[in-house]
A and B are shown apart, each in its own frame.
Chain A
């Protein structure tokens, strides 16, 4: 293959704006990279001056897909800063809401954004005519997860009821029972989902990298825990800067990160690799259908790991609802807050990977400093390393196929570009 020029301006079926630029002359790769061109929004700068009880409602607006993840992480940071402890019921409800968002985000990515690549269509819309059962199933799972988020947070996008110290609204026992019944019914849809995605011809490409996620010994970690990496490192959440080591690159409004190698990966595949033991047995069965066991080093299988996590969240969601129902759910005021100066770091493993929020508050509970490090931003260096490793392996294919495969590779990371362009300042005071 002599010369290839690809310029995918504003990659589609991803959240936010990015370009893939490839320039190959006489078989030599001159340029091969992903550029983030999203407009920066400067959240860390403008939350300064706002009150502690506004922060989670402002920062959930970073992302429309993972607003529950941002709100939960934000609240965790604020609650640590102010020394607020959550009740057991509030902890369970937040976990359940979080599971709802993991399912919601993953069904969006797997069915709406990735499946069209394999079925040769530009979007999910033409599938309404050709694969109606698949589309209806996707809509059913999406509705289930959205309804769960709404049941707890008031609505899915930008939750209302999540507040410092707990929740301002509690679902009734009846509502929880109905939701539990729908989760049990959803098992059939999960079986079909696993069967569908396990049958897809995933592109063959292996490149081992460092996988970074949260970890807990007693559960598959989504909210809190410790930071672990597949290279054997472990850090308390407060030491997140030792992992992220951000730097700027001129062609990207998103900062890059690196740890033990030049790049690392976060997200469903990283969690799967680091926390396989904590997956629900049914999720492990799903993994077996994909032939997956750690260490999985094909980044395309990040989408498969998302399917496996959906199974986990359905099963664990049923378990959490059982626990809530056994304990007896009742309206409960948020824990009291004593406003004081302090600093806190929150971390959750949101749909696209590990997320950090770090705030400093003054004596009046006014934010004086803020830092948010978003998962997609942590993946950029790895996406580029993958693009550069993958391109030479497919250079003999027609240009159109190369373009399509590179797009699929970026899409596999489920990038959330509008999220990824407002990270932190270079130095944190």
Chain B
């Protein structure tokens, strides 16, 4: 096979976004600093933030952002129809991230607070992850995503393997790094129940884990409670913090219709 035909056969990839800060797509752009070879492995046919090119014949769709209004659903369903593989890129797409904090409030209050008397002009409903609307084939967690993990997931998808996302807690990575547990310096941390894969980046920089990568599949709540007990904290206090990135998993749509 000639180099040229190889280039033509590369998987066609597209990037899309809904309600988000677009920081995960920027992290994708930044991954090129150290992995420029990715451009050889795939063909990017749509990436609005970085390119004017716009083709609809993509096979793999990376989707950033939460779904926050009915018309977003139509667009997401069209992407789902076209894509062989749909990957949730980052916490907004995966868990609803901070967007879902609004689900903890009353809808009318939220709209009026921001838009006052013009509230009726703007459509919005409870923020939700992609999986609340369509089938998601793979997830790259985190707020933002981890650059190296993104590269590893892409490599796995290209060879048809399951993406290597850990299902053990952040504590494991934190201990491997030899960090002093942040509970010991008077802080709180969601590391015992949060999915690893970030290299325990927050505790490594003196801050407790805030749970942006979501809960591990079978969190050991008893162990978490023991840790909290030791430091005079309760599970309720910690779960209050957990809502920063995981309000959707706590209340789903809350008091918002639909």
Interface residue? B115 (CB, 8 A): yes
B190-246 interface with A by 8 A CB criterion:
201-202, 204-207, 210, 241, 244
Contacts of B144 in A (CB 8 A): 64, 155, 157-158
Q: Are B52's CB and A46's CB within 8 A?
A: no
A404, closest chain B residue (CB) = B52
Whether A45 and B105, one on each chain, are in contact in the complex, defined by CB atoms closer than 8 angstroms, is: yes
Quick one: which of A92-128 are within 8 Å of B by CB? 108, 112-113, 116, 122-125, 128
Given contacts A49-B104, A61-B143, A112-B50, contact A157 B27 (CB under 8 A): yes
Which of B33, B39, B68, B105 has the largest count of A CB atoms less than 10 A from its CB?
B33
**In chain A, residues 24-81, which have Cβ atoms closer than 8 Å to a Cβ of chain B?**
38-50, 54, 57-58, 61-65, 67
Residue of A at shortest CB range from B100?
Answer: A46
Query: Bound state CA distance, A426 and B72, in angstroms?
Result: 26
B17 CB contacts on chain A under 8 angstroms? 418
Q: A39-B69, A46-B104, A64-B22 are in contact. Are A161 and B30 (CB under 8 A)?
A: no
| Contact flag A168-B206 (CB < 8 Å), given A16-B22, A41-B68 | yes
Which of B27, B102, B207 gathers most chain A CB within 10 Å?
B207
Q: How far is the CA of A156 from the CA of B121 in the complex (A)?
A: 35
Determine how close the nearest CB of chain A comes to the CB of B204; give it in whole angstroms: 7
Task: Name the residue on B nearest A116 (C-beta).
Answer: B52
Q: In the bound complex, what is the Cα–Cα distance between A419 and B21 (angstroms)?
A: 7
B205 & A161 in contact (Cβ 8 Å cutoff): yes
Report whether B207 and A160 are in contact in the complex, using a CB–CB cutoff of 8 Å: yes
A248 is an interface residue with CB less than 8 A from chain B: yes
Interface hits, B72-121 → A, CB 8 Å: 72, 97-99, 101-102, 104-105, 109-118, 121
On whether A169 and B206 interact (CB within 8 A), knowing A49-B104, A61-B98, the answer reads yes
Shortest CB-to-CB span from A93 to chain B, Å, is 13
Chain A residues with CB under 8 A of B121? 248, 250
Task: Choose from B18, B20, B47, B102 the contact partner of A46 (Cβ within 8 Å).
Answer: B102
Interface band, chain B: 35 or more
Q: Do A128 and B39 have beta carbons less than 8 Å apart?
A: yes
Q: Which of B20, B47, B115, B205 is the one whose CB lies under 8 Å from A160?
A: B205
**CB of A139 within 8 Å of the partner chain:** yes
Q: Do A64 and B101 touch across chains, with their CB atoms under 8 A apart?
A: no
Q: Does B24 contact A (CB under 8 A)?
A: yes
Select one of A13, A48, A123, A161 contacting B206, CB under 8 A: A161
Are A157's CB and B23's CB within 8 A?
A: yes
Contact with B along A145-161 (1 / 0, CB 8 A): 01000000111111011
- Nearest B residue to A158 by beta-carbon distance? B144
Q: How far is the CB of A73 from chain B (nearest CB, A)?
A: 15
- B116 proximity list for chain A (CB < 8 A): 248, 425-427
How many angstroms from the CA of A405 to the CA of B111 in the assembled complex? 36
User: Could you say which residues of chain B place their CB within 8 Å of the CB of A418?
Assistant: 17, 19-22
Q: Is A137 located at the chain interface by the 8 A CB criterion?
A: no
Cross-chain contact B23 with A64 (CB below 8 angstroms) = yes
A58 near B52 with CB under 8 A, answer no
Q: By the criterion CB–CB under 8 Å, are A64 and B105 in contact?
A: no
| A216 contacts chain B at the CB level, 8 A cutoff | no
Residues of B within 8 A of A50 (CB): 101, 244
Q: With contacts A13-B50, A250-B121, A425-B115 known, is A62 near B21, CB below 8 A?
A: yes
Q: Which residues of B contact A248 (CB under 8 A)?
A: 115-116, 118, 121
Complex-state Cα separation, A284 to B13, whole angstroms: 43
Q: Given the known inter-chain contacts A46-B104, A161-B206, please indicate yes or no for A10 contacting B25, CB distance below 8 A.
A: no
The proximity string for B residues 23-55 relative to A, scoring 1 for CB distances below 8 Å and 0 otherwise, is 111110110111010010000100111111110
Contact partners of B48 in chain A: CB under 8 A: 10, 12-13
**Min distance, Cβ A372 to any Cβ of chain B, angstroms:** 10
In the complex, chain B residues whose CB is within 8 Å of the CB of A61:
21, 23, 97-98, 143
CA distance A27 to B97 in the complex (A): 48
Cβ contact within 8 Å between A57 and B50: no
Residues of B within 8 A of A167 (CB): 206
Set A65, A128, A153, A422: member contacting B36, Cβ < 8 A:
A128
Does B102 contact A426, Cβ atoms closer than 8 Å? no
A222-250 vs B, CB cutoff 8 Å, 1 = contact: the mask equals: 00000000000000000000000000101
Q: Tell me, rounded to whole Å, the shortest Cβ–Cβ distance linking A317 to chain B.
A: 19
Asked whether, in the complex, the Cβ of B26 is within 8 Å of the Cβ of A64, the reply is yes
Interface residues of A in 268-282 (CB under 8 A from B): none
Q: How far is the CA of A423 from the CA of B114 in the complex (A)?
A: 7
Q: Which residue from chain B places its CB closest to the CB of A429 in the assembled complex?
A: B113
Q: Check A45 against B110 for contact (C-beta < 8 Å).
A: yes
A153, B48: Cα distance in complex, Å? 28
Q: At the interface, yes or no: B124 with Cβ under 8 Å from chain A?
A: yes
Residues in chain B near residue A57, CB distance under 8 A: 210, 244
Residues of A within 8 A of B47 (CB): 123
- The reply to whether A168 and B50 form a contact with Cβ atoms under 8 Å apart is no
- Chain B residues within 8 Å of A, Cβ to Cβ: 17-27, 29-30, 32-34, 36, 39, 44, 47-54, 68-69, 72, 97-99, 101-102, 104-105, 109-118, 121-122, 124, 127, 143-144, 201-202, 204-207, 210, 241, 244
Give 17 pairs: A residue, B residue, CB < 8 Å, sorted on A.
Answer: A12-B48, A13-B50, A41-B19, A42-B124, A47-B101, A57-B210, A63-B23, A65-B23, A123-B47, A128-B39, A154-B201, A157-B144, A163-B207, A168-B206, A169-B207, A425-B116, A426-B118
The 6 closest A-B pairs by CB, nearest first: A64-B23, A426-B116, A168-B206, A123-B51, A154-B205, A248-B118
